[in-house]
Amino acid sequence: MKNTKIKAEPSGVPFPQADKFERIINLCELLNSGDYDRNQVTQNYDFDGRQTNYYISAGIYLGLIEKHQINRSYQLSKDGKKILKLNYKQRQLAYCERILSYNVFHKVAQLYFQRGKIYLKEAKL
């Protein structure tokens, strides 16, 4: 966390609403095998359309997924491909670094380490 450089918020991408990061990782693994359109992602995961949007948008926000403008499919970004080539431990660290490179997540992690507890979305701050 100390060595992570903070990036600017991506423009034109909604703030992530995906609640399970392991699904974002799995979506990246799926896209590593080829491009998928929105309907294929929805069918593969048995999501509803809203969930599909949440997970694809989270991957785009983190710079792991890109959208083809011509055929409207999704693919791994160059960074996403690079991360998936790493060994397990390095890959997990790269995902953590990717998340912590955004100021809001960095600050939340700092608060966690300062206070020694995590705040759930149901908790009142």
The pLDDT tens digits of the residues spanning 14-42 come to: 999 999 999 999 999 999 999 999 999 99
Alpha-carbon distance of 9 to 101, in angstroms, equals 10
Residues in the chain, pLDDT under 50? 123, 125
CA atoms within 13 A on the CB side of 110: 10
Q: Which residue pairs, CB below 8 angstroms and at least 24 apart, start in 69-72?
A: 71/35, 71/37, 72/37, 72/38
What percentage of the chain has pLDDT greater than the value 70?
94
Give every CB contact of residue 50 below 8 A, 6+ residues apart in sequence.
Answer: none
Q: pLDDT at position 2, please?
A: 86
pTM: 0.88
